[in-house]
Amino acid sequence: AATAKHFPGHGDTSTDSHTGLPVIGHTRQQWEELDAPPFRAAIRARIDSVMTAHIVVPALDPSEDPATLSRPILTGILREELG
């Protein structure tokens, strides 16, 4: 089994999510251009699972809930938009 991680993208922070709560300051457009493509490709290739990141992305969820707890990110983007 294969897993794509860490959705919605964990590469643009130096904060360790095991010891702090990273905040990614990308706009939605930046996310679409930088972080979304690998996840889109993995989902198109029928990846077995997607692991979420415990990070905050205000452009994707203005409530600033971490992605692991975010309905707009998990249901809206991951499930409904990306499939």
34-58 pLDDT per residue, tens: 999 999 999 999 999 999 999 999 9
Q: How many CB atoms lie within 10 A of CB 14?
A: 6
Q: Residue 55: name the closest of 40, 35, 76 by CA.
A: 35
What are the residue ranges spanned by the domains of the chain?
3-78
Q: What is the largest CA-CA distance in the chain?
A: 33
Per-residue model confidence as pLDDT tens digits over 59-83: 999 999 999 999 999 999 999 999 9
pLDDT at 77: 98
